[in-house]
Amino acid sequence: MFLTKKAISRRAMLKSAQGALALPLLEAMIPAATAWDKTPAKPVRRIGFVFIPMGCDQDRWTPPGQGTLGELSPILAPLDPVKEQVSVITNLRLPNAYPGTHDTSNSAFLSAASAKHTESSDYFSGITVDQIAAKEMGRETQVDSLQLAMDLNPLAGVCNNGYSCVYQNCLSWSSPTTPLPSEAHPRVVFERLFGEGGNAEERRAALRNRASLLDSFTAEIARVKQRVGAPDRARLDLYLESVRQVEREIERGEKAAADNKTPDLERPVGVPAAFADHAKVMFDLQILAFQADITRVISFQFTREQSNRTYPEIGVRDPHHPVSHHGNDPVKVAQIAKINTYHIKLYSEFLQRMKATPDGNGSLLDHTVYLYGSGMGNPSLHDHENLPILVAGGTATGLKGGRHIRYEKGTNLANLHLTLLERVGIQLDKFADSTGKVEDLFERVV
């Protein structure tokens, strides 16, 4: 256990033979000359990206009016509890995603770059905004960035229109020729965050052979509690209970998957059978990763392009991809809207948990900015215009929440990426095909 100084280091970590446990930000980590209620420490800024496939029903997505985000649209209605921490941006586009495919919708979302049309391994796209952030922000964390998903992500072969599968299944690229695979299995993500020692299978066996990762830290946790005050003890208990709860969710999901005789072919074996349960545990893992400052950069492919997932729990029994080719059929358009609303509901619940999780003199949401959206606008047209895009964040990020920014003409999504990079302290003159920045999204003083 690296706790030798009078003041606990922000990088303090508990260690055992089976794993490592980073600590959340505690008062005991703040220099004695400062206080959260007077001179807060410089906040740790974090950035996340959530990708949804196959666009949206734009009529039910787009809020009325502009400026103040007053009435929410039907799809965005679940965001009401966090409306003041959300801004919607209308009429953003991805010109480099054309000729208009599922593959380029995915690959251009974070890169704003054109994808080389190839079925082989000579694929070429562009470095993504999250990886530009990771190269700078990852210097101070255990993991430079996390790439997460909800579905299986085959990287070999051809997925659509003669494009290599890497375009459709990798959101993040660390260089134009280096796609980064995403992980959809909660247990594997949990091990990456907390497991240490031995190979992956040995760590997995160790985790399964004990009731909880936390059991190996009992003595160390008790020693930390002796060194900190009552507020820190309460904060630490809340964090540890969150870790334990995620462990329980993973264990329940694995048991349910083992008992499920007809698993979803797009769902990795061993993850929760219910989409909402899987989404919750993947979002909870993001909260833990941020709370313990294991990483400050996350990308999350909520579901994949061309997904044939069905949503009987919300009354959509037809597969998502065929329904997205709605041809203005009102029944299919209504189904797309239901799926969009369901995804937003799960995202809103995540933001509410972020808002309720203490971090420094605020919450995790106060110190984080999250972009949510798709690389496709109207899925029936396969276009990349008027993308469904929103940005969530808190007071420390300077986000002007509760706003609807509506461009009269199509504006490049790269402008938003450039703006977000600036917000987390990374200054670039240009990103991809950016032509400027998104004005009136953040306070000018960073």
Q: Which residue has the higher pLDDT, 52 or 32?
A: 52
pTM, entire model:
0.86
One of 2.60.40, 3.30.70, 3.40.720, 2.70.98 is the CATH number of 46-423, namely 3.40.720
Look-up of token digits 């992956």: 200
For residues 217-241, give the mean pLDDT. 79
Q: What is the pLDDT of residue 230?
A: 80
Query: 1-10, 200-209, 236-245: which range is least confident on average?
Result: 1-10
Q: What is the DSSP letter of 396?
A: G
CA-derived radius of gyration, the chain: 22
Task: Output 165 or 257, whichever has higher pLDDT.
Answer: 165
Query: So what's the pLDDT on residue 41?
Result: 46
pLDDT for the residue numbered 7: 58
pLDDT, residue 19, reads 62
User: Which residue is listed with tokens 């509506």?
Assistant: 406
Domain map (residue ranges) of the chain: 46-423
Spell 137-175 as b/e; 16+ CB within 10 A means b: bbeebbebbbbbbbbebeeeeebebebbbbbbbbbbbbe
- By percentage, how much of the chain surpasses pLDDT 90? 57
pLDDT at position 37, please? Answer: 45
Q: How far apart are CA 195 and CA 330, in angstroms?
A: 49
382-416 pLDDT, tens digit per residue, is 999 999 999 999 888 899 999 999 999 999 999 99
Mean pLDDT score of the chain, rounded to an integer?
Answer: 85
Res. 18 pLDDT band, cuts 50 70 90: low
Burial code of 409-443, b = ≥16 C-beta within 10 A, e = fewer? ebbbbbbbbbbbbebbebeeeebbbbeebbeebbe
Buried/exposed code over 273-296 (b: 16+ C-beta within 10 A; e: otherwise): eebebbbbbbbbbbbbbbbbbbbb
**Spatial distance between the Cα atoms of 84 and 374, rounded to a whole number of angstroms:** 22
- Binned at pLDDT 50, 70 and 90, residue 77 comes out as very high
As a whole number of angstroms, the distance between CA 38 and CA 50 comes to: 34
Which pLDDT value is given to residue 445?
A: 47
